Amino acid sequence: MSQGFQQQEQPQTLSRPFQPVAETDVRPDVDSKEFEQPPQVETQATSFFDRLLARLGRFGKTQVAAHDYSWHNIIWREWRHTTDEDYAQHLFALVGDRPVSGAIAALTGGLSGLIYGGMLGLLLALITALGDPIIMSLALGLSITGAVLGGAGGCLTSLLRGQGLSWRTWLAQLTFNLNPTELGLLSSVTLAGIITWFFTWQAGFGHVASIIIVGILLLEGLGARVMVWLLGLDRGKQPHYSHRYRAGYFWWRDRPYRTEFETALRKACAVSSGATEIWGPVLENLEQQRKQPGPPEQLVENLRHVDWAERFTAAQLLITLGGVAAPPLQAAASQRGSILRRKAMDLLRQIERETTQLADQCWNLLCPRCLRRCGRHSVPVAGDMTIIYYGCRMCGQSHVLWPGQVVAVLDTDMPGNVERSDPFRVNWLTRRFLFDFDEVEIIRATDEEVERFVVQVGNDTDPVRQGRYQHMPCRIGPECHLSENTMRVLGRVFGTVVQK
Amino acid sequence: MLCPFCLADERIKQQKLPNSLASAYICPNCNEQAPALYAQDNRKYPPVVISAIGFRQHGKTVYFASLFYTLKKLTLARDWPEFFTMSLNEDSLDTVYGNVRMLEGGTLPDSTPKNFPRPTMIRAEGVPMQPDCTLLFFDTGGECFERPTQLVQFAGFVRRAKAALLLISVPDLDDPRAGMQQLLNTYVVGMRELGGRTDDQHLIVVYTKGDHLAARFAGGPWEDLRTYLVRGSVDDLARPDGYMERMHHVSDRLLAFTEQELHAHEFINAAEANFKSVNFSIISALGAAPQGARLPVKIVPRRILDPVLWIMEKSFTGPVYAFRRWWGL
């Protein structure tokens, strides 16, 4: 059934449909208890080994669950890559109260035990050798023994503590929830202690000084929390600072694609009312605005909006627009000293990454507005850097693209100018300008109309299309009686001309 | 490359168009955009300038209209196995099909205004015994050929033609001898002022409104000319062998007619003195006289392609073209 372009159903887009959520007030913080928890494994085990096996069993099940809820991973990846602090906090709220997986808990516990056990062994060796020259083999033996025991103990303890540890807590413990200055200060003290110990050891100040310094280091290592508490820096579980170091985590994982990230957010909303309260209205607003995104220049301006949700929406819309947004983003990225520079560069890279997915199927994707295929664009930004993106060869957009072959039809009786079938049929007679097509079908047209079409094709200097016409089939319908002259003109321009 | 608009021999460069995927061939002299079909295939289809020269109401515009009608509506492509014509741009299409529609609708085209015309560009391929080429038709108001200054101002295109097409309607001249001489004189002077050399040009004298002249030919020594004209539908072109020889013969006969009947010796002498060669042709663009601007019957053009064949013959000279014609390439 042929249909006019204006009356077409919604074109196939690269994004998935949005599930609307109930509109609620946006709260600044999310109650972590409202978040969905993984299924708990009931166990009747009582002995240590039974409990251990049960824990190990749960560890295995937790891994399966992690695959089932992979939206967490996607949100973690987005959290790790974003440069917007407010936005990062809201993402963290979605996943921060998820339990730390057994593997990570065991690994970090084991590493901590390894370091602390080794230091304890060294301390014991120093105390044992008090007043006598230190025996290196004893010190080494005790240190290794301490490290092995500490590592094993750390592993076991972490496994047994299991899912009790949330990411929020774990990250807070890992960084002591210190701000960068405080963390730097603590690290400097530790480093200074190690250096001091090394030099006093070399200077022969004796074991007492060494014991004191190693003891302090051990105290600092084992009881960092105590030190933090003593210094009044402990902030509990509130992750004021813990996510600030996110750029250092799982750096090997790429940022998620826009579509998969939005799908993950919708999944989060589907399973958690807390997530729905915050993200539901944001996603709904995003979907509304996606229908009429507004000028990209305004969206670029919105990147400095005071409200994180507006910034998020603007960024997502800019990525959605793809190449259309490239010029204003390019302008923002080229302004040295602009607060938007980093963000604009970030978005350009995201557009590059998002649209590179289209590279392999470029000639099969059609922009419904320009009726041009998808193509490669390059945008020079600051310095020698160039961003490559894929989108409509004409307007650059990559939001709405139709896959499929296109037939240029010349038919005076064809209703509308585009028929969304497979392949797409676009009536040149109603458009009168060229578009990207793969075949020609002349159903009902006069010699003059055909010649006008052929003249446009012949004068087409589009470098992509120019070489294709000579290999293109042209079919002429049985009702179309063209003159011999016109048939020869067609034969001169197109690869094969067949009268049905 | 010859710019089809200003006819300057310039290097037409391909330039990227702003906000477009396409590029354009821009003449650096006149800044006009040449069609890609013209610019890209310039060597394969070299340009042939066809400039209609003649007084007002002597049938220049009607001749071109009838020629376009013949090319598009008659059955040349059926008879010539490789032949086809195609316009090279939208303007040319408008001109060609606009004229065809007018003649089909029984009306004549309006008089051409006095201005420097834009060319009607038509690619001709597969014309028997002639190389493929791009025909650039220029037509301007007949007033431009009344004074050399007007010719210089509005008909500068004549300078680039290898063959000048002089269209003369003998029945419309009170004194054919004087009228023909005046036209030739104006042309030669105008060409000099344009910096052109008629010595490098061939002259094709075309007697238009041949249906009027046919009555004059009837029953006398010029009966063969009447017969040639009357039998001059495109069907006669179906067998191109020997056609050029017949055209040469008719040219000689028309030369004799010009001398003996029109007594235009001065015209002939001046033409032979100023041009490389002089040939004559006769056409009837409509086949019958119109009633005002209306055509009472469907047009039947006679010998309408002869002037074009003459121009192609004269434009492509030299041993290579002679060999190709002889070999049938």
Select from A451, A483, A492 the Cβ nearest to the Cβ of B93. Answer: A451
| Integer CA distances (angstroms), B246 to A377, A431, B272, B310, in order | 62, 49, 21, 12
What is the structure's pLDDT at A45?
A: 36
**pLDDT class for A10, splitting at 50, 70, 90?**
very low
Residue A372's pLDDT band, with cuts at 50, 70 and 90, is: very high
Copy the structure tokens of residue A155.
């592993």
pLDDT exceeds 90 at position A149: no
Whether the predicted pLDDT of A228 surpasses 70: no
DSSP string covering A276-331: HHHHHHHHHHHHHHHHS---HHHHHHHTT-SSHHHHHHHHHHHHHHBGGGHHHHHH
Residue B18, chain A, CB below 8 Å: the answer is no
B52: closest CA of chain A, how far (Å) = 25
Inter-residue contact B84 to A488 (CB < 8 Å)? yes
Judge whether B125 is closer than 8 Å to chain A, CB to CB: yes
Tell me whether residues A372 and B23 touch, CB distance under 8 A.
Answer: no
Higher pLDDT, B296 or B312: B312
Cβ of residue B70 closer than 8 Å to a chain A Cβ: no
Nearest-Cα residue of chain A relative to residue B36 = A459
Q: Read off the pLDDT of each residue in B209-226 and give the average, rounded to a whole number.
A: 87
Residue A447: list chain B partners with CB under 8 A: 72
Nearest to B86 among A455, A461, A464 (CB): A455
Which pLDDT score, from 0 to 100, does residue A259 have? Answer: 82
Q: What is the mean pLDDT of residues A183-199?
A: 70
Q: Is A374 on the interface with B (CB under 8 A)?
A: no
pTM of structure: 0.73
Cα separation, A171 vs A165, whole angstroms:
10
Residue of chain A with shortest Cα separation from B35: A459
CB A125 within 8 A of CB A147: no
**In B, which residues are within 8 Å of A455 by CB distance?**
35, 37, 86-90, 93
Asked whether the beta carbons of residue B86 and residue A460 sit closer than 8 angstroms, the reply is: no
Residue A4 scores a pLDDT above 90? no
Q: Which of A243-247, B92-96, B263-267 has the lowest mean pLDDT?
A: A243-247
What is the residue type of B153?
A: Q
**pLDDT greater than 50 at residue A59:** no
Mean pLDDT of A106-112: 78
Q: What SS3 string covers B70-86?
A: HHHHCCHHHHCCCCEEE
CB-neighbour burial class of residue A188 (10 A; exposed 0-12, middle 13-18, buried 19+): exposed
* In chain B, % of residues over pLDDT 70: 98
Least confident piece of the model among A98-112, A153-167, A206-220: A206-220
A393 touches chain B (CB under 8 A): yes
Instruction: Report how many Cβ contacts below 8 Å link chain A to chain B.
Output: 66
pLDDT at B74: 84
Question: Cα separation of A153 and A114, whole Å?
Answer: 9
Of B14, B21, B86, the CB nearest to A393: B21
Question: Does residue B186 carry a pLDDT above 60?
Answer: yes
Q: What is the crossing angle of helices B243-260 and B306-315, to 10°?
A: 100
Q: How far off is chain B from A494, nearest CA to CA, in Å?
A: 14
The number of beta carbons lying within 10 Å of the beta carbon of residue A244 is 18
Q: How far apart are CA A409 and CA A287, in angstroms?
A: 35
Average pLDDT on A366-374 reads 91
Q: Is B24 on the interface with A (CB under 8 A)?
A: yes
Please state the three-class secondary structure of chain B as a single string.
Answer: CECCCCCCECCCEEEECCCCCCEEEECCCCCCEECHHHHHCCCCCCEEEEEEECCCCCCHHHHHHHHHHHHHHCCHHHHCCCCEEEECCHHHHHHHHHHHHHHHCCECCCCCCCCCCCCEEEEEECCCCCCCEEEEEECCCHHHHCCHHHHHHHCHHHHHCCEEEEEECHHHCCCHHHHHHHHHHHHHHHHHHHCCCHHHCEEEEEECCHHHHHHHHCCCCCHHHHHHHHCCCHHHHCCCCCHHHHHHHHHHHHHHHHHHCCCCHHHHHHHHHHCCEEEEEECECCCCCCECCECCCCCCCECCCHHHHHHHHHHCCCHHHHHHHHHCC
Give Cα separations from A8 to A1, A12, A85, A402 (angstroms).
11, 11, 42, 12
Which residues in chain B touch residue A462, judged by CB atoms under 8 angstroms apart? 21-22
CB contact under 8 Å between B21 and A454, yes or no, is no
Which residues have a Cβ under 8 Å from the Cβ of B329 and sit 6 or more positions away? none
* DSSP one-letter code for A444: E
Percentage of chain B lying above the pLDDT 90 cut: 47
Task: For chain B, say whether A382 makes contact (Cβ under 8 Å).
Answer: no
Supply the pLDDT for residue A11. 39
Q: Judge whether B77 is closer than 8 Å to chain A, CB to CB.
A: yes
Put simply, the answer to whether A461 touches B78 (Cβ < 8 Å) is no
The pLDDT value given to residue A204: 63
Which residues in chain B are contacts of A459 at CB distance < 8 A? Answer: 35-37, 88-89
Residue A387 — φ and ψ, nearest 5°?
-100, 130
Residue A25: how many CA atoms within 13 Å on its side-chain side? 3
Confidence of residue B253 (pLDDT cuts 50, 70, 90): very high
Give yes or no for a contact between B149 and B32, defined as CB atoms under 8 angstroms apart. Answer: no
Cβ separation of A458 and B78 shorter than 8 Å?
no
Buried b (16+ CB within 10 A) or exposed e, A413-424: ebebbbbbeebb
- Does any CB of chain B come closer than 8 Å to the CB of residue A462? yes
**Residue recorded with tokens 């010349």:** A410
Confidence of residue B110 (pLDDT cuts 50, 70, 90): confident
Nearest-CA neighbor of A119 among A206, A202, A190, A200? A190
pLDDT score, position A3: 36
Q: Is A481 on the interface with B (CB under 8 A)?
A: no
Question: Each residue of A430-484: pLDDT tens digit?
Answer: 988 899 999 999 999 999 999 999 999 999 999 889 899 999 999 999 999 999 9
Q: How far apart are CA A391 and CA A369, in angstroms?
A: 12
User: Which pLDDT belongs to residue A313?
Assistant: 94
Indicate yes or no: CB of B93 within 8 angstroms of CB of A455: yes
Whole-number pLDDT of residue A66: 39
* Confidence label for A135 from pLDDT (cuts 50, 70 and 90): low
- Chain B within 8 Å of A373 (Cβ-Cβ)? no
Task: Check residue A13 and give its pLDDT.
Answer: 40
Handedness of CA B98, B99, B102, B107 (dihedral sign): positive
Q: CA A471 to CA B171: how far, in whole Å?
A: 54
Phi, psi for residue B25 in degrees, rounded to 5:
-100, 105
CA angle B187, B192, B196 (to 5 degrees): 95
The C-alpha atoms of residue A38 and residue A48 are separated, in whole angstroms, by 24
Select the residue from A324, A393, A485, A489 to test the B interface by mutation, using most B Cβ atoms within 10 A: A485
Distance from C-alpha of A390 to C-alpha of A398, rounded to nearest angstrom:
7
Whether B36 sits inside 8 A of A461 (CB atoms) is yes
Predicted local distance difference test score (pLDDT) of residue A29:
30
Residue B108 — pLDDT band, cuts 50, 70, 90? Answer: confident
Residue A176 pLDDT > 80: no
Q: Which two tokens stand for residue A186?
A: 């603590």
User: Which tokens belong to B222?
Assistant: 């010029």
User: Helix, strand or coil for residue A162?
Assistant: helix
CB contact under 8 A, A492 and B125: yes
